[in-house]
């Protein structure tokens, strides 16, 4: 399967890692949209949040436990979490990812 984020997990494409464990990887977005812009992804390939099921949802719970640890390590406590799903939401990489945006006051409007 040709998946950019699977290649990043394998190390075939370099990334600036922020956090890694057996189940997930967090790394800095290549085109940051805020002073802090981190992506956190499951190591198992899940195409988007629309493909989360009872069988694979444990990794999502894990990711949501890891995010506050990243926030603490990176020194922020207020942030925005975004996951784009499908074409209308402009999902460009078809591997589930959560954008962690921090470091400035966000716009009130989200879309």
DSSP state of 88: T
Q: Which stretch binds ligand DGP (CB under 6 A): 18-26, 63-71, 72-80, 91-99?
A: 91-99
CB 62 within 8 A of CB 23: yes
Q: Which residues of 50-75 are buried (b: 16+ CB within 10 A; e: fewer)?
A: eebeeeeeebbeebeebbeebbeebe
Considering only 67, 91, 98, 100, the residue that binds ligand DGP (CB under 6 A) is 91
Q: Which stretch binds ligand DGP (CB under 6 A): 18-26, 60-68, 84-92, 102-110?
A: 84-92
Pick the catalytic residue: 45, 62, 95, 97? 97
Query: With respect to ligand DGP, which residue has the nearer C-beta, 54 or 110?
Result: 110
| 2 Cβ contact partners less than 8 Å away, ≥ 6 residues apart | none
Distance CA 58, CA 23 (A): 10
62 is a catalytic site residue: no
- The interface mask with ligand DGP, positions 23-52, x = CB under 6 A, is ----xxxxx-------x-------------
Binding site for ligand DGP (CB under 6 A): 4, 13, 15, 27-31, 39, 84, 90-93
């Amino acid at each position: 399967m040709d998946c950019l984020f699977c290649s990043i997990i394998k190390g075939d494409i370099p990334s600036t890692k922020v956090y890694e464990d057996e189940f997930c990887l967090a790394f800095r977005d290549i085109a940051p949209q805020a002073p802090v812009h981190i992506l956190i992804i499951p190591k198992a390939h899940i195409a988007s949040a629309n493909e989360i099921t009872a069988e694979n949802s444990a990794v999502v719970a894990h990711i949501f436990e890891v995010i506050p640890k990243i926030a603490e390590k990176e020194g922020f406590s207020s942030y925005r979490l975004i996951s784009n799903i499908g074409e209308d939401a402009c999902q460009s990489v078809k591997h589930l990812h959560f954008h962690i945006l921090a470091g400035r006051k966000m716009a009130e409007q989200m879309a």
